[in-house]
Structure 1
Amino acid sequence: MKLQQVKIYHLKMPMNFTFTTSFGSMDEKELLVIEATDEDGTVGYGECVAFVAPWYTEETVKTSLHMLEDFLIPMLLGKVLHHPDEVSELFSSIRMNNMAKASIEGAIWDIYCQQTKQSLAQALGGEKTCIDVGIAIGLQPTKEALLQAVKHAIDQGYGRIKVKIKPGADIEVIKTIRQVYKDVPLMADANAAYTLDDIEHLQQLDAYQLLMIEQPLAYDDIVEHATLQRALKTPICLDESIHSLADVKRAVMLGSCQIINVKIGRVGGLTEARKIHDYCYEKNIPIWCGGMLEAGIGRAHNVALTSLPQFTLPGDNSGSAHYWAQDIITPEVEMKDGKITVPTTPGIGYHINKEALAKYTISTKTYK
């Protein structure tokens, strides 16, 4: 394949709810949609999942646009590629900026799958026909609101409940849920809000039979998590610390965690995500696919990735209607009884809703 054109759509989409973490609150999502066109006219789509501010990683919507425009797209236009795996090799001279890399790589995977008449899941080596779905619940203003959100999630059939915690809103949050829902699969996400000074405090979580605590310590730490994991019975899951297969190997070597959260954007694309999967499959390390409040294109990529066999825990991949009044794909991703069916048609398995795309687009730029 040889890319002839790339068009970037800058979108702003209102969310169905306000999502609150230890970093702040969001009620809308800005994102970039990448539309890549091959010389034979095949069009593929990717999504950049970076936020507007660098509170999750160093990347933002604007920095990703800069990287795509000034570095990544010029490296790809007119370049002959035989397989999407070559993209990460081509980008190896560019340090980090993984979300920008993943967005254009995802579009190339879409083109490749259409040209080879494979679904994205099939091309990645996926085996599942449907995937289990979990849900993330942000910090709630009251105990009543928290329990109502958990009840709603359980009633909808979600296979795992994740709740955000932070200092001052942690043990009591988990205790409140466990007093009512003793057996629901439950995990806590700390978004790097704690330090090793909090070991004794975090040990209180061991009493509540959590599936895991996600990224309790610094966003860039692997070493200190090993100290914390030795002190906890609750499995630690690493998220923000993991940007590559090399990071996974370090974490395993040090004993920093027992579970890995794989996010396509955070690790730089589907190729690296699949490498992480294959290593964790070999080592029997449970993994799951995390969410970045994706719109439909990014969500389609997540569904395909989660079809791989070592994704043994439900991921943050709810249906479109949970997040958006109208998504930018058709049909929208649908969750039923806690599961999402994996598409089997060539490419990402969904069509772009051009009307919705135009509705939410605030600017576009085309590169040839």
Structure 2
Amino acid sequence: MEIKHIVLRHMKMQLLSPFTTSLGTEYDKDFVLVEIRSKDGISGWAESVAAIDPYYKEETVKSNWSIMNDFLIPLLLERPVEHPDEVSERFAHIRGNFMAKSALEGAIWDIYAKQKGIPLSEALGGEKKQIDVGISIGIQNTIPELLDLVAGYVKEGYKRIKVKIQPGWDVEPLSAIREQFPDIPLMADANTAYTLADIDHLKQLDAFNLTMIEQPLEHDDIVDHATLQRRLQTPICLDESIHSVEDARKAFQLGSCKIINIKIGRVGGLTEAKKIHDFCKANDIPVWCGGMLESGIGRAHNVAITTLSNFIMPGDTAASSRYWEHDIIAPAVTVENGLITVPDETGIGYEPDLERIQEYTLYSKTFTSSNT
């Protein structure tokens, strides 16, 4: 495909309610929306999941904008792209900056699927027509508030409940949930809030029959997680520590985890996400798709990747209405009885709402190919 234009938009959307984790509280979502227009008039869409602050990972909205502007977009505009897999190869000598790379690569994948006349899920090799989804619940002010939220999401049919935890908000809330809901699939997400000094404390979580505990230790660690996994019955899931299939291989060899969360932005794009999926499938490691408070554009990419066969655990891709009063796609992503029906339209399968996109755009920049 020959690229005609690339448009970056700095977007700001207000969350319906604050979302609190051990890393802090988010009230709004700033992100970079990418639109790539091919010479044959097709637009591909994706978004960067980098936040305004470098708390989850080191990337931010501003750093993503800068690295795309100065390095990645010039590389992408050098010559036509025959297949989306080439994008990660073209960017390989640029260290890190996975979320920026993923956003540009994702838009190329959308164009590729549209040019082929197939859904993005099919272009990726996906098989499912529906995907199971769970819900992620931030840290609440009180346990009764938490239990009310859990009860509501269980009633709505979500297939798994994920609860954010941190020291001082872990054993008691999980115990209360288990007492009221003894059979629901339940997991805890620590977002790096603990150390090996907390082993005896974390062992208390084994009593709650959790599906997993996600990323309890440092964001870049796979060694100490192996020590912790040997002491816990609860499976450890790695999130922040996994950026590539090589990271997944090393974690598997060390015994650092039993489950891996694949976030498209964190691993640098759909191509690397597929590689991690394939490695994990070959080694009987279940995977699932994590969420980053995406708008409908990013949510559509998550739906597509989750159709691959080894995504056997419900992911975080909840309905648009969980986070936004008005999403930037039409129709919005909806969930019925814990299931999302995979769209069969070409590309990401949802139509960008240009009016809403314009409303939420703080500023934009257009890059034009010199070959146009």
Give TM class, smaller chain: over 0.9
2:33 and 2:310 map into 1 onto residues whose CA distance is 28
The TM-score, its normalising length taken from structure 2, stands at 0.98
Say yes or no: does 1:297 pair with 2:297.
yes
In structure 2, what is the Cα distance between the partners aligned to 1:350 and 1:138? 27
CA distance in 1, matches of 2:259, 2:78: 40
Native 8 Å contact 1:2 1:78 kept in 2: no
* Corresponding position of 2:14: 14
Shift of residue 78, structure 1, vs aligned partner: 4.3
Q: 1:216 Cα deviation (Å)? A: 0.3
Matched, 1:204 2:204: yes
Aligned-partner SS, 2:23: coil
Partner of 2:231: 231
Instruction: Quote how far apart the aligned CAs of 1:345 are.
Output: 1.3
> Partners of 1:207 and 1:101 in 2: how far apart?
41
1:41 shift after superposition: 1.4
Partner of 2:27: 27
Q: Deviations over 1:221-269 (max 9, x none)?
A: 0000000000000000000000000000000000000000000000000
Counterpart Cα distance in 2 of 1:78 and 1:97: 20
Measured in 1, the distance between the counterparts of 2:210 and 2:144 equals 21
Q: Which residue of 2 aligns with 1:257?
A: 257
Q: Which residue is 2:3 aligned to? A: 3
**Contact residue 3 and residue 78 of structure 1 kept, 8 A:** no
User: Are the counterparts in 2 of residues 4 and 78 from structure 1 also a CA contact under 8 Å?
Assistant: no
Distance 1:160 1:14 in 2: 25
SS at match of 1:4: strand
> Structure 1-normalised TM-score?
0.99
Aligned to 1:186: 186
> How well do the aligned residues superpose, as a CA RMSD in angstroms?
0.6
Aligned to 2:219: 219
Matched, 1:328 2:335: no
What whole-Å deviation, never above 9, does each CA across 1:149-171 have from its counterpart, x for those lacking one?
10011011100000000011111
1:141 equivalent in structure 2: 141
1:284-363 pair list within 5 angstroms: 284-363=284-363
Counterpart Cα distance in 2 of 1:252 and 1:71? 33
1:240 aligns to 2:274 (yes or no): no
The 1-side partners of 2:77 and 2:39 are apart by: 10
The structural deviation recorded for 1:144 is 0.8
- The residue type paired with residue 132 of structure 2 is D
Aligned equivalents of 2:216 and 2:269: distance in 1?
25
* Whole-angstrom CA distance in 2 between matches of 1:135 and 1:169: 18
Residue aligning to 1:270:
270
Matched-pair identity in %:
56
Alpha-carbon distance, 1:314 to partner: 0.2
1: CA distance between counterparts of 2:207 and 2:321?
A: 35
Trace 1:150-165 onto structure 2 (pairs within 5 A): 150-165=150-165
What's the counterpart of residue 39 of structure 2? 39
Tell me the secondary structure at the aligned position of residue 92 of structure 1.
Answer: coil
- Matches for 1:96-115 after TM superposition, within 5 Å: 96-115=96-115
Superposition deviation, residue 343 in structure 1: 1.1
The CA distance in 2 between the partners of 1:144 and 1:231, in whole Å, is: 31
Pairing of 1:59-98 with structure 2 (within 5 A): 59-98=59-98
* Counterpart for residue 279 of structure 1: 279
User: Shift of residue 42 of structure 1?
Assistant: 1.2
Moved over 6 A (4+): none
Q: Assess if the C-alpha contact under 8 Å between 1:295 and 1:328 holds in 2.
A: yes
**Structure 1: runs of 5 or more not aligned:** none
Task: Please report how far the alpha carbon of residue 3 of structure 1 lies from its aligned counterpart in structure 2 after TM superposition.
Answer: 1.1
Kept in 2: contact 1:13–1:30 (CA 8 A): yes
Which amino acid in 1 is paired with 2:269? G
Q: Distance in 2 between matches of 1:147 and 1:132?
A: 22
Q: How many residues are treated as equivalent by the alignment?
A: 368
What is the CA-CA distance between 1:27 and the residue it aligns to?
Answer: 1.4
Q: Distance in 1 between matches of 2:152 and 2:78?
A: 50
Shift of 1:77: 1.2
Report how far residue 219 of structure 1 moved.
0.5
d(CA) in 1 for partners of 2:181, 2:323: 25
Deviation by residue 1:287-322 (Cα, 9 ceiling, x = unmatched): 000000000110000000000010000000001111
User: In structure 2, how many angstroms separate the alpha carbons of the residues matched to 1:351 and 1:180?
Assistant: 41
User: Partner of 1:93: helix, strand, or coil?
Assistant: coil
Instruction: Give 3-state SS (helix, strand or coil) of 2:92's partner.
Output: helix
